Amino acid sequence: MKQAIYPGSFDPITNGHIDILKRARQIFDRVVVAVAVNPDKQPLFSYEKRVRLIQELMQDDPGIEVLYYSGLLVNLVDQTGIKTIIRGLRALTDFEYEFQLAMTNRKLNDKIDTVFLMTDDTYSYLSSTVVKQLARFNGDISQFVPPLIERAIKEEFDE
Ligand code: ADP
């Protein structure tokens, strides 16, 4: 069985992430979406909430599992035995950072391979940050995130 880990903040998951996930599922039998618990970032959604939202969105696909991890990705690789990492690429600007990340993970565990998938160009400018900024000022985010996420963001900002 071909398996891969798709790690990220997913705060919140966007149509861009979902596009990458669907593409990954055409290549891998099982994809583990790994929500990062990052103590340096002040997230909009708790990691538990991010996991729940992604689980609900992906419930029809038994090939997708969602969990959270804290600390280093290499530790998750050790725990799960899954050595393939998926990352999405939007534009050339993503490359520098992703290259650093992939090489660092490789240095920590030389069995790790990072597979980069390119998003549909519709989503090439889309990021969680842009979605949050738009939502904060009541902008229309319906074309960037699924309805479930749109509702969750509205609820979060209303609180
Ligand atoms: P991180 O904080 O680890 O960068 P993100 O949730 O921002 O977490 O992104 C996770 C992965 O998804 C990264 O590889 C990122 O490049 C990719 N990604 C994010 N948005 C998009 C998008 N619109 N299209 C394709 N890939 C994306």
- Tens-place pLDDT, residues 96-106: 999 999 999 99
Tell me the DSSP string of 14-51.
Answer: -HHHHHHHHHHHHH-SEEEEEEEE-TTS--SS-HHHHH
What value does the mean pLDDT take over residues 77-86? 97
55 lines ligand 1 (CB under 6 A): no
pLDDT band at 79 (very low <50, low <70, confident <90, very high): very high
Q: Active-site residue among 46, 52, 111, 128? A: 128
Alpha helices in the chain (DSSP H): 15-27, 47-57, 73-80, 92-108, 128-136, 147-158
Task: Let me know if 49 is a catalytic residue.
Answer: no
Please give the number of the atom of ligand 1 that sits closest to the Cα of 15. 23
Q: Given a cut of 90, is residue 77 above it in pLDDT? A: yes
Using alpha carbons, list the distances in angstroms from residue 87 to 34, 37, 57, 140. Answer: 11, 17, 19, 27
What value does the mean pLDDT take over residues 56-66? 98
pLDDT at 40: 80
Q: Given a cut of 90, is residue 87 above it in pLDDT? A: yes
